[in-house]
Structure 1
Amino acid sequence: MPPATRELPMRIRPAWPVPRVRPARAARCGLHRALPAVVGLLLLAPVSGCRTELVPPGAPTPWPVESGRRWQWQWQLSGPLDVTVDADVFLLDPARTTSTETAALRARDRRLICQVNVGSYAGTDPDATRFPVAVRGAAVAGRPGSRWLDVRQWDALKPVLADRFRLCRGKGFGAVALADADGYLHRSGFPLGFDDQLLFNRRLAALARSLDLSPGLVNDLPQVAALAPDFDFAVNEECVRRRECAKLLPFADAHKPVFHVEYAGSPTQFCVTTVGYGFASIRKDRDLDAWREPCPLP
């Protein structure tokens, strides 16, 4: 007679995809574990039975000085992720990127940076309703459905932003790039000053480190000199076109990576400037799909 079979327990499918990676050891059955705080962000339903555990990196991403002038990088926020790109560093959207993709990249010893909007939110974000009405400001120019946040209201913003960072950690990222960390330069709907932004950005860098993430600053060139000691790397858009690359030298002089992108012009022209500064530079389309044209290594 055929061996008796047993009925497997029914698994409830969560409302939002649960990130998974291959565990370092066999998964254990028993009480399920909910991801702390990320549950609210991802709107997960309870999961019963056995499941594999997420395996985040063991420490924040290191940026060894001896590799400073040899980094090659990729910035992709749209289209199917190409994990085969010949780059050492990948800057990705943590919501779009799966744990399977991050695991594949980490298996090849790639450094992974997640991009988190810290000074704004989109109406389509899963956690959009967590932002109190009082911190929601004016629309972000050129991005329908997105609004600036009042970065002076740290107590209201910290729990939501901490969960965004935890999502990065849970999916296997070891670094976080803080985007829209320059609301004081825009019509945010709030009377934000230079010092308001400086305090907010320093708090975010400390928060990232407390969650074992290496913090990076996106743009915000007027504050680079003040913030370079607080951050591990910088990400910049079009400093050549804007003639502002020298403002990033506090990072380069401290042997911290500067990941730079231009959306127009020939790399044979702008690479002479940026590689000379010690930046890792590429040419990209503005939609930040998989295509890239990197500068040659020095």
Structure 2
Amino acid sequence: MRQHTRRLLPISIFCLALATMSGCGGGSSSDTPPPASAPAAYWKPALGDTWQWQLKGTVNTAYPATVYDIDLFDTAPATVQALKASGKKVVCYFSAGSSENWRPDFSGFAPADMGKDLQGWAGERWLDTRSATVRKIMLARLDLAVSKGCNGVEADNVDGYANNSGFALTAATQLDYNRFLASEAHHRGMSIALKNDTDQLKDLVGDFDFAVNEQCHEFAECEGYQAFIASGKPVFNAEYAAPYSSDPAARAKLCADANARKFHTLVLPLALDDSLRYSCEP
């Protein structure tokens, strides 16, 4: 989730999931196995596609959205298949830049892989995205997304270098990690969203298929996303500020700006539990 400075298997099971890789040990990022051959084609969201984003609670499948963005771990494969059978495309969310102590593969992270807490998010710590162990866990998560039938993925917290992570991450190490995620998703036949990371939008627009942003209107960070729009790649935006849900005039102003930018903007609760939803779609 967004950090305001910028902007879920026991280990034996985890190792079994990685049996086709090079093991469960640590090491440098150069130990990451080479990707398989890329498929000829995979689904990519279109500029006009609409979206729904819900990460908690029973997924409400009633919205007339083209794309559903839902939790990778907490969503049953049957829900994914039901959404796809109704004509939706499914994007599966996971955190690629933080550990979450309630996730089933949490024990796979080495203590040295986990840095400082994410401010405001209990149980989450920044990850050393240079670590081979971290990258192997993310490969297993991408494989889980494939097994559940996800059309794409949303990899969160891919801007650790711009936060107080506890690691010597840089813009260059972030670009390397984000491109690693994009390449591996594509090789598995899935699209991938660039989540926030607003300072590297122009650098990464060629590697990612769409963008997911939180609060760019609230924090005046929307302009950089025109690089995605100009490339025919949709921008899915969520805003949480109270006036957008309580004040119709503030919401109308927000939506006018979002629609002028060709964004797909939703006003949602920070919990992303479907307790409220306003769409700026005209």
Query: Normalised by the size of structure 1, how large is the TM-score?
Result: 0.77
Whether the 8 Å contact between 1:60 and 1:212 is mirrored in structure 2 is yes
Structure-2 change in CA distance of 1:238 and 1:73 (3 Å): same
Cα offset, 1:255, TM superposition: 0.7
Alignment of 1:10-159 (within 5 A): 37=17, 60-64=42-46, 68=47, 70-153=48-131, 155-159=132-136
Whether the 8 Å contact between 1:74 and 1:292 is mirrored in structure 2 is no
Identity among equivalent positions (%) equals 33
Structure-2 change in CA distance of 1:38 and 1:110 (3 Å): farther
| CA deviation vs aligned residue, 1:98-148 (integer Å, no higher than 9, x gap) | 111111110111011111111111111111111122211111111111111
Partner of 1:250: 227
| CA deviation vs aligned residue, 1:255-282 (integer Å, no higher than 9, x gap) | 1010011112243111111111111111
Cα separation, 2, equivalents of 1:200 and 1:106: 30
Partner of 2:183: 206
Whether the 8 Å contact between 1:245 and 1:274 is mirrored in structure 2 is no
Cα separation, 2, equivalents of 1:292 and 1:60: 30
Cα separation, 2, equivalents of 1:185 and 1:111: 31
Partner of 2:262: 278
Radius of gyration: which is bigger? 1
Partner of 1:288: 272
Cα separation, 2, equivalents of 1:39 and 1:120: 23
Instruction: Answer 1 or 2: higher relative contact order, Cα 8 Å, separation at least 6.
Output: 2
Cα separation, 1, equivalents of 2:185 and 2:258: 28
Structure-2 change in CA distance of 1:89 and 1:38 (3 Å): farther
Whether the 8 Å contact between 1:74 and 1:85 is mirrored in structure 2 is yes
Structure 2, unpaired ranges of 5+: 1-8, 11-15, 21-39, 245-249
Cα offset, 1:185, TM superposition: 1.3
Query: Which residue of 240, 245, 249 corresponds with 2:217?
Result: 240
Aligned residue identity for 2:178: N
Aligned residue identity for 1:159: K
Partner of 1:224: 201
Cα separation, 2, equivalents of 1:74 and 1:267: 18
Cα offset, 1:61, TM superposition: 2.3
Cα separation, 2, equivalents of 1:38 and 1:269: 49
Matched residue SS, 1:229: coil
Cα offset, 1:59, TM superposition: 5.9
Cα separation, 1, equivalents of 2:49 and 2:224: 20
Whether the 8 Å contact between 2:264 and 2:281 is mirrored in structure 1 is no
Whether the 8 Å contact between 1:284 and 1:292 is mirrored in structure 2 is yes
Aligned residue identity for 1:229: G
Partner of 2:24: none
Structure 1, unpaired ranges of 5+: 1-14, 17-35, 41-57
Query: Normalised by the size of structure 2, how large is the TM-score?
Result: 0.81
Structure-2 change in CA distance of 1:39 and 1:74 (3 Å): farther
Structure-2 change in CA distance of 1:144 and 1:250 (3 Å): same
Partner of 2:13: none
Whether the 8 Å contact between 2:126 and 2:166 is mirrored in structure 1 is yes
Matched residue SS, 2:205: helix
Cα separation, 1, equivalents of 2:125 and 2:203: 26
Matched residue SS, 1:255: coil
